[in-house]
Amino acid sequence: MTVTTSEPLRQRALRALDTVVDPELDEPITDLGFVRSLDLTGDGRVTVHLRLPTSFCSPNFAYLMASDAKDALTALDGVASVEVLLDDHHDSDLINRGLAADAGYRGTFGHEAEQDLEELRLTFRRKAHIAATDRALGRLLRAAPNTPGQELYGLVLGDLPDGPATRALLRRRAALGLGTDPADFVLVDEDGARVPPDGIPARLRFAHSVRVSIEGNVHFCRGLLRTRYPDEADAASGRTLLPLLTADASAPSSPAPKENAS
């Protein structure tokens, strides 16, 4: 990723992009290497180029990612305009025109838009919550794999160990409007209803399969991205495929590492 701007706005722009999550993979687009370049001018004009592992990644996911990136950057103080461009996708022209015109999801795809954008976003938030539940319960269940369903039924958020997995679960719950109080029950569905004791084994199996599927897709997409853009790959970078360069491109640097939000 090549960045050219003054330090304060550059840092704020990068932090804003860190908050944009690929809807299907449930990881920040910066960590996935989907931000190809970020350029800012002295008068606050921002241009971002995004890329994906293949040219045929779902246009729904691509639009949602690009739209969220534009919204995150537009909200920054000192930004006069934002242009987000998706490179090398079979719907790049369509998506880029829609973003430039602020046409919205349905305005961009017309009759091809099977779901409203918020409905699509909700689908992925629910999926992320299910996977986060598996991660948060992982240590507990590994230590006591035969824990009866009745005990898990009474498990509350305050019983979970403090750490990245628990904090990520709290964020996923908050995004769905679910309770995040320490006394709130852990095993609830995406509408907040408690999972009954006899349904807990099936729920845990489902959560585990969703989590494994997401993490497998992340690994697969990272490999595809490196294959698609071999000249841009940087194996030394743990967060992105491209090193983060200052304006004079003289010294690579990396943003401060942050806690895994998956």
Q: Three-class SS of residue 136?
A: helix
Domains of the chain, earliest start first:
3-114+229-253 (3.30.300.130), 117-214 (no CATH)
50, 20 Cβ separation under 8 angstroms: no
pLDDT at 111: 72
How far CA 30 is from CA of 24, 139, 198, 258, in Å, comes to: 15, 28, 41, 11
**pTM (predicted TM-score):** 0.76
pLDDT of residue 254: 36
What pLDDT shows up at residue 249?
30
Which runs of consecutive H residues, i.e. helices, occur in the chain? 7-18, 29-32, 59-74, 92-100, 104-109, 117-143, 149-153, 164-176, 200-228
Q: For residue 88, what pLDDT is reported?
A: 96
Task: Provide the pLDDT for residue 240.
Answer: 43
Strand pairing category for 45-50 and 81-86: parallel
Using a 10 angstrom Cβ sphere, with 0-12 exposed, 13-18 middle and 19 or more buried, the burial of residue 28 is: buried
The low-confidence residues of the chain, meaning pLDDT below 70, are 1-7, 113-115, 233-262
**What is the model's pLDDT at position 66?**
96
* pLDDT for the residue numbered 13: 95
